Structure 1
Amino acid sequence: MKNIVLFCAAGMSTSLLVKKMEKAAEQEGFECKIAAHSLNELKTYGPDADIVLLGPQVRYNLDKVKTELPEKLVVVIDMKQYGMMDGKGVLEMVHKTLGE
C-alpha cells in the first residue's frame, strides 16, 4: 500500500483534492493511503510517505522539502490539475512518478 502525502499552506484546500484522489484510486483498485497536511507538519508526516506532493501555492518550498526529505520523491502538483481538483489526473501523475 502506497502512502501519498499532500502538503499545502494549511491543509484545507488539499483535503478536497484528497477526496477526489481517493475516489479515483478506489475506482481503479489502487490500494493507497492519501492524506493532506499543512506544510508545518512536514517533519511529522513526510518521513512515512512514499511520495510527497506539494500544492502549487507552496511550490516555492520545493528545494527546502527535498532537503528535509532527501530520500523521498517530492513533486509539485500541476496548477491546472489542482485548480480543477482533478484527482484522477493527479493520481495518474503519482503512478508515473512512482514508475507504476
Structure 2
Amino acid sequence: MSFEPSLPSRKPAPVQLAMTGDDWTSDRDRKAHARAEAVRRKAAVECARKLEAACDALNAYLLACIGCDDASRSRGADDGRLILMGCMSEYAGWLRSVYEN
C-alpha cells in the first residue's frame, strides 16, 4: 500500500460582497442619514406634543363624564380611558426624553 501525501486544502478566500461600515460610507450617505434622523426627531417631538394634547382632551372628557354622575363616570383604575391616558403620557414623555434636546 502506498501513501500519497494529502494535498493542502484549498479554501476559497473570503469575498466582500457589500461595501458596508463607517469606512465605506460616502458623504452623500452620511448626509442622507443625518436628514432622515432630523426628520425622525422632528416627527417624534410633534407626536409627543399631539399625544399630550390628546391626553388633555381625554382628561377633559373624563371630567365631563364624572360631572354627569351617571354610568359614564370613571370605573376606577381599570377604566380604559385612564389606562389610555397613562400610556399616552408615558410614551410622550419617552419621546421627549429621547428626541428633544
TM above 0.5, yes or no, is no
Query: Counting strand residues as a fraction of each chain, which structure ranks higher?
Result: 1
Q: TM-score scaled to structure 2, two decimals?
A: 0.24
Q: TM-score scaled to structure 1, two decimals?
A: 0.24
Query: Counting helix residues as a fraction of each chain, which structure ranks higher?
Result: 2
